[in-house]
């Protein structure tokens, strides 16, 4: 029997406030960076918050899982085409530069309310993370805090 290889999984937890430079580059926390060179994250303009969009950041395995989930939907489901078109047109692959930064595309950053030479919030979602305008995130965080008691009951 072969020994099991140590597959280290990145856990995206905690939150970080980092500045976005004039070229819209944003530092990714060192513990969230892939160990292998050349790994690309997928940035998706994420519209699911009433406070406004954010950027959802998926590592390669999570993007592959999202694609499998969409492909598993029935072809007769009109949401399948909508999701494919929307995610396909509102996402982009980004690689870390040598300084551990990603560059946020101008249109995506603007839609998410993230401005050059200001701060952004990086928020861990355990298997992925989000990039928020700090003011929007504070509103989402307040709503999450109210709902957390009910959500934790599901884990009992």
What percent of the chain stands above pLDDT 90? 76
Tokens found for residue 18: 């980092």
CB 13 within 8 A of CB 118: no
CA distance 114 to 108: 8
What is the model's pLDDT at position 38? 87
Q: How confident is the model at residue 8 (pLDDT cuts 50, 70, 90)?
A: low
Angle between helices 78-89 and 60-72 (to 10 degrees): 150
What is the spatial distance between Cα 41 and Cα 126, in angstroms, rounded to a whole number?
A: 15
Residue 6 domain flag: no
- Reply yes or no on whether the pLDDT at 92 is more than 90: yes
Rg (CA), the chain: 17
Provide the mean pLDDT of the chain.
91
- pLDDT exceeds 60 at position 21: yes
Write out pLDDT tens, residues 54-64: 999 999 999 99
Query: pTM higher than 0.85 for the full model?
Result: yes
How does residue 156 score in pLDDT terms, banded at 50, 70 and 90? confident
9 inside domain? no
Domain assignment of residue 24, given as a range: 15-153
Number of domains in the chain: 1
Residue 55 lies in a domain: yes
The CATH number covering residue 125 comes to 3.40.1550.20
CA distances 115 to 49, 69, 110, 134, Å, are 19, 32, 7, 11
Torsion from C-alpha of 31, 36, 40, 44, nearest 10 degrees: -30
Query: Per residue in 94-107, pLDDT tens?
Result: 999 999 999 999 99
Read off the tokens for 106: 């101008």
Q: Which two tokens stand for residue 125?
A: 């979602």
Flag whether pLDDT at 127 surpasses 90: yes
Distant-in-sequence, close-in-space partners of 129: CB < 8 Å, separation ≥ 6: 12, 32, 56, 57, 122, 123
Q: How far apart are CA 63 and CA 56, in angstroms?
A: 11
In a domain, residue 8? The reply is: no
């Amino acid at each position: 029997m072969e020994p099991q290889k140590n597959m280290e999984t990145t856990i995206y937890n905690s939150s970080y406030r980092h500045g976005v430079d004039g070229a819209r580059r944003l530092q990714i926390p060192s513990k969230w960076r892939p160990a292998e060179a050349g790994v690309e994250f997928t940035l998706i303009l994420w519209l699911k918050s009433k406070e406004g969009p954010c950027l959802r950041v998926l590592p390669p395995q999570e993007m592959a899982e999202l694609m499998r989930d969409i492909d598993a939907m029935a072809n007769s489901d009109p949401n399948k085409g909508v999701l494919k078109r929307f995610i396909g047109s509102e996402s982009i692959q980004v690689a870390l530069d040598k300084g551990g930064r990603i560059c946020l595309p101008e249109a995506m950053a603007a839609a998410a309310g993230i401005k050059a030479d200001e701060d952004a919030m990086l928020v861990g979602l355990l298997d992925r993370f989000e990039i928020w305008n700090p003011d929007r995130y504070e509103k989402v965080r307040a709503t999450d805090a109210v709902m957390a008691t009910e959500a934790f009951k599901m884990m009992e």
